[in-house]
């Protein structure tokens, strides 16, 4: 089956930023041959977090998610590559860093604490539709490049 050229969104979460892991994680993505199409550091507003996490914004734990995501600025990254969405998620490992295998990004760098499941280094889009919406949410027109 031929591979599809895709672009996905990665958010380096506050744990990655504060532990200075962004360069090392980005290097892993680039080693896989993925191309950076957009990258920027930004603070996340209540509004963008409510939109991004709309599937959990009404849950009682959402304020802690919002608080975590506002601890530091995040780095938004648009990556392009063949089957990049699935391949990035495989490189990251499971969302729960406690069960992520060594050699995956979350297995190597994620918090190993049952109470810190959201501290898992990166968010990554889970489908082409989500990637398109998320890239539009975090990047303005003219901030995604081809070269």
Q: What is the pLDDT of residues 101-117, one digit of tens each?
A: 999 999 999 987 766 77
Residue 115 is predicted with a pLDDT of 67
Below-50 pLDDT ranges, the chain: none
> Which of 123, 125, 134, 138 is labelled catalytic?
123
What residue ranges do the domains of the chain occupy? 5-138
* Residue range 108-141, pLDDT digits in tens: 999 877 667 789 999 999 999 999 999 999 999 9
CATH class of this structure's domain 5-138? alpha beta
The reported pLDDT for the residue numbered 147 is 80
Separation of alpha carbons 132 and 9, rounded Å = 8
pTM for this predicted structure = 0.94
Q: Is 52 a catalytic residue?
A: no
CA 93/CA 146 separation, integer angstroms: 28
How many angstroms separate the CA atoms of 31 and 37, rounded?
Answer: 15
């Amino acid at each position: 089956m031929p591979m599809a050229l895709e672009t996905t969104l990665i958010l380096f979460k506050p744990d990655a930023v504060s532990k200075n892991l962004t360069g090392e994680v980005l290097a892993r993505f680039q080693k896989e041959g993925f191309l950076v199409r957009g990258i920027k550091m930004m603070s996340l507003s209540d509004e963008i977090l409510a939109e991004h996490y709309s599937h959990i914004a009404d849950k009682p734990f959402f304020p802690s998610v919002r608080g975590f995501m506002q601890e530091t600025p995040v780095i938004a990254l648009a990556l392009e590559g063949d089957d990049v969405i699935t391949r990035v998620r495989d490189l990251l490992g499971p969302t729960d860093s406690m069960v992520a295998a060594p050699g995956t990004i979350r297995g190597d760098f994620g918090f190993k604490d049952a109470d810190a499941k959201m501290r898992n280094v990166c968010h990554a889009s889970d489908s082409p539709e989500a990637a398109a919406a998320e890239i539009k949410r975090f990047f303005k027109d003219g901030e995604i490049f081809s070269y």
